[in-house]
Amino acid sequence: MSTLQAPGADLYYDERGQGTPILWLQGLGADHSAWTPQLARFSSRFHCLAPDNRGAGRTAPGGPITLRALAEDAAALLEARAGGRPAHVVGLSMGASIAMELARLTPERVRSLILVSASATIEPRLRELMLAWRAIYPRVPPDVFQRQANPWLFSWRFFERPSAAAAVIRYAERSAAPAEWFTAQLDAAISHDAIAWLPELRMPSLVITGEEDIMVPPRMGQALADLIPDARFVVIPQAGHSVNLEQQAPFHQAISRFLDEH
């Protein structure tokens, strides 16, 4: 792990590999290690940068958390470590919201966008879930919170592999953020609404969704792709919201095909 002094915060990040840069942006409450399979897979060909967003992992908030602030952190990391080259930017869930904001803020730094388990806005049903999580998180231990969240994050097949489900619980126990960090991130995530300006984006874009994602269903991914000019939309079968963990091989294949073209 390395540290970048960003305005108001020390931004921790993982860096590995060489070549064209890829920036990996994680979702609500997750640190960079939730990208472990992807960093192992893609660092053989690419220069991978994976930060702990403010309010997750080892990066303290350092002030109010907004999607704009998180995007500015991502831009600062690219400026410092990408050697002036535009990066492929991969964002999952809230990380995709940050990626969209980054593409809007500094399009010259974004070679392509890969938006995973993402939506153009927070629909009322998703907002209700997020508000419930905001109330629950400070009141229960990390393993209990993760157990109630997992059915939203994974398909039923994931739970047929007890070792995989247990690994997610262990991850939650060791990486759980303080309640005030998590709720600050959630407040930023719930503010996401990019519908008005997504048609202005002009970089190659790929939207990936899990076929069985009940948190951000495929119809929301399709609606997102429809708003971005010439975006490609891919549905990964037999996967829920955490498609990068549940169906790693087809997820990697979809990204590799896209990167080979761009």
Domain positions in the chain are 2-261
Q: Compute CA distances 198 → 141, 159, 185, 213, 230, whole Å.
A: 38, 36, 22, 22, 12
In the beta sheet, which residues pair with residue 236?
210
Average pLDDT, the chain: 96
Q: What is the tens place of the pLDDT at every residue in 150-208?
A: 999 999 999 999 999 899 999 999 999 999 999 999 999 999 999 999 999 999 999 99
CB 49 within 8 A of CB 77: yes
Q: Can you tell me the mean pLDDT for 63-79? A: 95
State residue 145's pLDDT score.
97
**Closest to 153 (Cα-Cα) out of 79, 80, 239, 229:** 239
Q: How confident is the model at residue 1 (pLDDT cuts 50, 70, 90)?
A: confident
Cα–Cα distance, 41 to 133 (Å, whole number):
32
Hunting for tokens 């037999």 — which residue is that?
A: 238
State residue 6's pLDDT score.
85
State residue 93's pLDDT score.
98
- Assign domain 2-261 to its CATH superfamily: Alpha/Beta hydrolase fold, catalytic domain (3.40.50.1820)
Q: What is the tens place of the pLDDT at every residue in 237-254?
A: 999 999 999 999 999 999
Q: Does residue 91 surpass a pLDDT of 90?
A: yes
Q: What is the tens place of the pLDDT at every residue in 197-253?
A: 999 999 999 999 999 999 999 999 999 999 999 999 999 999 999 999 999 999 999
Cα–Cα distance, 194 to 199 (Å, whole number):
9
State residue 8's pLDDT score.
84
State residue 260's pLDDT score.
96
Q: Can you tell me the mean pLDDT for 116-133? A: 98
